[in-house]
Amino acid sequence: MEDNRLIKKSNFFNFNHYNYGEAYFGSYKGMRYRLARNPLKNVIFIPIDQRGEAHLEASVWSEPYAYAMTDKDKITTKEFEFTQDGFDKAIDWINEQYESRISEWKEEHSILD
């Protein structure tokens, strides 16, 4: 199956990797993004039925600052089910954020050039 997204699924860690408690960070033409398990906790060696509730958290914000250095009110975040389907939907949402707010990202990108 061909991935027609601007930000490809193959750019991200595979879904199971998020069970290690590591966030994925990326950027695309003025937009920064993050995808992580919430709570951000390494549960890979805990039996699935004992891991507790979790969801995927996708976030986007304008360049140039890193996630930790950006005011939280300037970061747009959405939660998704912690499933393969939720993973796909989170990546779609990140792409939709880029496309629906393209002028915002392009403005930030041109400032950096």
Q: For residue 81, what pLDDT band results from cuts at 50, 70 and 90?
A: very high
Peptide bond before residue 47 is cis, with ω within 30 degrees of 0: no
Q: How far apart are CA 12 and CA 23, in angstroms?
A: 10
pTM of the predicted structure, to 2 decimals: 0.90
The Cα-based distances of 5 to 18, 38, 59, 66, 77 in angstroms read: 21, 24, 17, 23, 19
| Tens-place pLDDT, residues 95-109 | 999 999 999 988 766
In terms of DSSP H, where are the helices of the chain? 84-100, 102-112
- Output the pLDDT for position 107: 76
Q: For residue 57, what pLDDT band results from cuts at 50, 70 and 90?
A: very high
Radius of gyration of the chain (CA): 15
